[in-house]
Structure 1
Amino acid sequence: MDNHHSGPVETGASMDYSEHEKTYNMFIAGAKWGTMVTAVLLIAMAAGFFGGVGFLGSLIVFIVLNIAGVFLLR
């Protein structure tokens, strides 16, 4: 038997490009905001552990840097 295909295996429905764009934009936004929050969390933890500012000081650093990140990443 000859099982070689010369064309696409499946020729299903056409792609929904608007839905693809929405998914891509949501992924990029999630990656951007998630990276920002993770970096801010690491900076706040370093300030709390090594900077000697304690829990409340690192919480303030976390909040202030998140607010700055929101304005910078818009």
Structure 2
Amino acid sequence: MQNAETSKPVDEADFSEHAKTYNFFVAGTKYGTLHVIALMVAMAAGLVGPFGFFGALIIFILINAIGIYILR
């Protein structure tokens, strides 16, 4: 039978490193979602709408710039 005293973790949990990793993951998810949404809107505008490639590129840049400003 296993002794209760020997079943604890080898080292203490590093909560500051965990918090940094969590914040990095949340920021990556937030900005990654923004870029995917901007790409989808720009593709729809460029491929289906009358905007063409350069119009879609401008829309993509504007959505990303506005989104980054709002999400900060």
Give your verdict on TM over 0.5: yes
Map 1:1-74 to 2 at 5 A: 5=2, 7=4, 9-74=7-72
Distance in 2 between residues matched to 1:35 and 1:6, nearest whole Å: 47
* Structure 2 stretches lacking a partner, 5+ long: none
Query: May I ask how many residue pairs the two structures share in their alignment?
Result: 71
Runs of 4+ deviating beyond 6 Å: none
- The one-letter code matched in structure 1 to 2:30 is K
Alignment TM-score, normalising by the size of structure 1: 0.86
TM-score (norm 2): 0.89
Deviation at 1:52, TM superposition (A): 1.6
Q: RMSD over aligned Cα, in angstroms?
A: 1.6
Unaligned runs of 5+ in 1: none
Structure 1 vs Structure 2: percent identity of aligned residues?
Answer: 45
Q: Name the one with the larger helix percent.
A: 2
Q: CA deviation at 1:11?
A: 2.3
